[in-house]
């Protein structure tokens, strides 16, 4: 009895593209549900459509899921008691069930050609009637079937939809019901001998003992069909829960033209997987304590599927960016430095030691929101010379303040500055500010601007003391002298 109560959920992506952020959210909610209920979380690859599936996409799905921390208990790579976990390796089991259904009178062979089906469809559209398969092959005699077969026709197998109503209690939407008379007899086995999606999922979920199915609400209409198959097979119907969709800001389906859609694309852009998971969890779910920055484990402990919002939610970058920034600020420095390196590949990293690189990341990480910003934000650390922004040249370096400050610094300060001692240099700069404020009435801010402009070519950037020390005396002297010329 114990095994019957075990919570088993699954995520069943189809490898016809990289792992979509929406699929990632579905995976996350399944994972959370499994964790919260001490159940198993299964990964199944639905590659029934061999034409569109590829190994590269399968690898992308594995990598993305792992990067997000959504590790599965059973799956194609790790195995498990109910394998295989890849549909293309399960092709021999579906016909058995199809035959069983036919023997019991729940399914029948359909010899209609695509053309005939299309004609039927057009006819009903013309008559403004909702389209639905007529069921004309339902009562073919053995002789008729033989005749059709002799013509070389390969039959598909259709499920005979019973009369009445199909209903169930959705874990997030509540009670749902469907009028069976609106559903035509649907194909479960294609004429080429492979199962259709609706059939394969049911067989697989049944054999894999899936207890709860959490998925996007685009599957609601499939649910009726699937429940009918479970019932025909005399199998226990799992519990269903349908999540609202993630929409783009224009309320359409999230697609390429809105920017990144695959988890791997977000990662390439410089989003941290921890932030991605956290953000996506907040689409439809909210923490009971109001504290939104949470680890996967914390979210799992607080997760209740019944409290998930049943409406769609819009994917806005503002909050994702903010959250990503929060994670960047808090992340372990050594780890972050490694993550950042790919974005710094255009520079000669050998100019600095590993420790110094870490320091560069440490002092530049503060204002950034995505990792890729660091490419530009660390630019002035590299190379002997620095590129001065036109605006900075004009407004700062050509200004009166710079003309006073910079020569003074060259004359009286550079040799005194302590490039090895952060505290001392900090004081020396503070003294310099005080000096110009008292002697020339120049604001502290402006004094620093002049130096910053000369050394970094910009008006803002990392902490000045840290920057000077990192750059080192040679570069600083060179750059300040170059600026006064």
Residues 14-43 that bind RNA (CB under 7 A): 14, 16
Closest approach of Cβ 358 to RNA, in Å? 18
Among 61, 282, 299, 361, binds RNA (CB under 7 A): 282
> How many chain residues bind RNA (CB under 7 A)?
84
Closest approach of Cβ 48 to RNA, in Å? 4
- Please list every residue from 144 through 203 that binds RNA, using CB under 7 A: 156, 173-174, 176, 178-179, 182, 186-187, 190-192, 194, 196-198
In sequence order, the 6+-apart residues with CB closer than 8 A to the CB of 266 are 21, 260, 276
**Cα 343 from Cα 320, distance rounded (Å):** 20
What radius of gyration, in Å, describes the C-alpha atoms of the chain? Answer: 32
Site string for RNA, 78-107 (x = CB under 7 A): ---------x--------------------
Q: Which is nearer to RNA, 300 or 308 (CB)?
A: 308
Q: Which of 202, 241, 280 lies closest to 20 in space, CA to CA? A: 280
* 298 in contact with RNA (CB under 7 A): no
- Binding window for RNA (CB under 7 A); candidates: 98-106, 220-228, 350-358, 390-398: 220-228
Q: Which is nearer to RNA, 90 or 475 (CB)?
A: 90
Q: Which of 432, 443, 420, 421 lies closest to 480 in space, CA to CA? A: 432
Contact 308, 332 (CB under 8 A): no
Among 307, 394, 431, 474, binds RNA (CB under 7 A): 307
User: ω before 361 within 30° of 0 (cis)?
Assistant: no
Residue 391, CA atoms < 13 Å, CB-side half-sphere: 4
* 222 in contact with RNA (CB under 7 A): yes
Among 206, 453, 465, 469, binds RNA (CB under 7 A): 465
Rounded to 5 degrees, φ, ψ at 233 are -80, -5
Catalytic residue among 129, 256, 335, 485: 256
* 474 in contact with RNA (CB under 7 A): no
- Please list every residue from 382 through 421 that binds RNA, using CB under 7 A: none
Q: Which is nearer to RNA, 106 or 240 (CB)?
A: 240
Q: Characterize the bridge pairing of strands 8-11 and 165-170.
A: unpaired
* 133 in contact with RNA (CB under 7 A): yes
Among 99, 147, 149, 253, binds RNA (CB under 7 A): 253
Q: Which is nearer to RNA, 96 or 154 (CB)?
A: 154
Q: Which is nearer to RNA, 193 or 383 (CB)?
A: 193
Q: Which of 351, 381, 389, 387 lies closest to 363 in space, CA to CA? A: 381
Q: Which of 365, 346, 362, 366 lies closest to 354 in space, CA to CA? A: 362
Q: Which of 120, 93, 97, 116 lies closest to 107 in space, CA to CA? A: 97
Among 39, 76, 241, 461, binds RNA (CB under 7 A): 461
**Cα 161 from Cα 182, distance rounded (Å):** 10
Among 35, 36, 100, 132, binds RNA (CB under 7 A): 132
Sign of CA dihedral 52, 55, 57, 58: positive
**Cα 212 from Cα 26, distance rounded (Å):** 13
Closest approach of Cβ 445 to RNA, in Å? 4
Q: Which residues pair with 274 in a beta bridge?
A: none
* 218 in contact with RNA (CB under 7 A): yes
Residue 86 structure tokens: 């890849």
Annotated active-site residue 256? The verdict is yes
Phi-psi region at 303: left, alpha or beta (left = phi > 0; alpha = psi -120 to 50): beta
Closest approach of Cβ 6 to RNA, in Å? 25
Closest approach of Cβ 59 to RNA, in Å? 17
* 325 in contact with RNA (CB under 7 A): yes
- Binding window for RNA (CB under 7 A); candidates: 78-86, 206-214, 266-274, 452-460: 452-460
Closest approach of Cβ 393 to RNA, in Å? 16
Site string for RNA, 348-377 (x = CB under 7 A): ------------------xx----------
Q: Which is nearer to RNA, 251 or 335 (CB)?
A: 251
* 245 in contact with RNA (CB under 7 A): yes
Closest approach of Cβ 310 to RNA, in Å? 4
* 326 in contact with RNA (CB under 7 A): yes
Among 126, 139, 251, 256, binds RNA (CB under 7 A): 251
Contact 23, 65 (CB under 8 A): no
* 261 in contact with RNA (CB under 7 A): no
Residue 234, CA atoms < 13 Å, CB-side half-sphere: 4
3-class secondary structure, 326: helix
* 136 in contact with RNA (CB under 7 A): no
By CB atoms closer than 10 A (0-12, 13-18, 19+), residue 83 is: middle
CA dihedral 29, 35, 40, 46 (to 10 degrees): 20
Closest approach of Cβ 474 to RNA, in Å? 21
Closest approach of Cβ 4 to RNA, in Å? 27
Q: Characterize the bridge pairing of strands 165-170 and 174-179.
A: antiparallel
Contact 121, 131 (CB under 8 A): yes
* 463 in contact with RNA (CB under 7 A): yes
Q: Which residues are catalytic?
A: 256
């Amino acid at each position: 009895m114990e095994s019957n109560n075990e919570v088993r959920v699954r995520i069943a992506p189809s490898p016809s593209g990289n792992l979509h952020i929406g699929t990632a959210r579905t995976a996350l909610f399944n994972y959370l549900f499994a964790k919260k209920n001490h159940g198993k979380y299964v990964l199944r690859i639905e590659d029934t459509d061999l034409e569109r599936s590829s190994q590269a996409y399968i690898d992308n799905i594995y990598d993305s899921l792992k990067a997000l921390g959504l590790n599965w208990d059973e799956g194609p790579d790790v195995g498990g008691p109910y394998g295989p976990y890849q549909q293309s390796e399960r092709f021999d089991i579906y016909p058995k069930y199809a035959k069983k259904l036919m023997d019991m009178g729940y399914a029948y062979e359909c010899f209609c050609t695509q053309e005939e089906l299309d004609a039927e469809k057009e006819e009903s559209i013309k008559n403004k009637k909702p389209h639905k398969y007529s069921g004309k092959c339902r009562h073919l005699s053995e002789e008729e079937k033989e005749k059709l077969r002799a013509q070389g026709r390969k039959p598909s197998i259709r499920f005979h939809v019973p009369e009445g109503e199909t209903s169930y209690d959705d874990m997030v939407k509540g009670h749902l019901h469907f009028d069976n008379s609106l559903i035509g007899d649907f194909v479960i086995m294609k004429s080429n001998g492979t199962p259709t999606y609706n059939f394969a999922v049911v067989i697989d979920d049944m054999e894999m003992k899936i207890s709860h199915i959490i998925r996007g609400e685009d599957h609601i209409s499939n649910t009726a069909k699937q429940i009918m198959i479970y019932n025909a097979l005399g199998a226990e119907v799992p519990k269903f829960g349908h999540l609202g969709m993630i929409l783009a800001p224009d309320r359409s389906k999230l697609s390429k033209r809105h920017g990144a859609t695959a988890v791997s694309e977000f990662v390439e852009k410089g989003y941290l997987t921890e932030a991605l998971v956290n953000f996506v969890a907040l689409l439809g779910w909210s923490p009971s304590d109001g504290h939104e920055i949470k680890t996967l484990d914390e979210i799992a402990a607080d997760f209740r599927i019944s409290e998930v919002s049943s409406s769609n939610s819009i994917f806005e970058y503002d909050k994702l960016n903010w959250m990503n920034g929060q994670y960047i600020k808090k992340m372990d420095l050594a780890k972050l430095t490694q993550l950042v390196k790919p974005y710094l590949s255009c520079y000669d990293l050998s100019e600095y030691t590993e420790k110094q690189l870490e320091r560069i990341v440490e002092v530049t990480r503060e204002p950034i929101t995505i990792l890729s910003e660091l490419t530009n934000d660390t630019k002035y650390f590299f190379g002997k010379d620095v590129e001065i922004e036109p605006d900075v040249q004009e407004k700062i370096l050509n200004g009166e303040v710079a003309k006073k400050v910079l020569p003074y610094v060259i004359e009286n300060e550079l040799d005194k500055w302590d490039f090895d001692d952060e505290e001392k240099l900090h004081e020396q700069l503070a003294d310099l500010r005080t000096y110009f404020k008292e002697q020339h009435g120049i604001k502290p801010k402006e004094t620093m601007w002049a130096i910053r402009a000369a050394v970094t070519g910009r008006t803002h950037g990392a902490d000045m003391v840290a920057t000077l020390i990192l750059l080192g005396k040679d570069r600083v002297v060179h750059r300040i002298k170059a600026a006064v010329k």
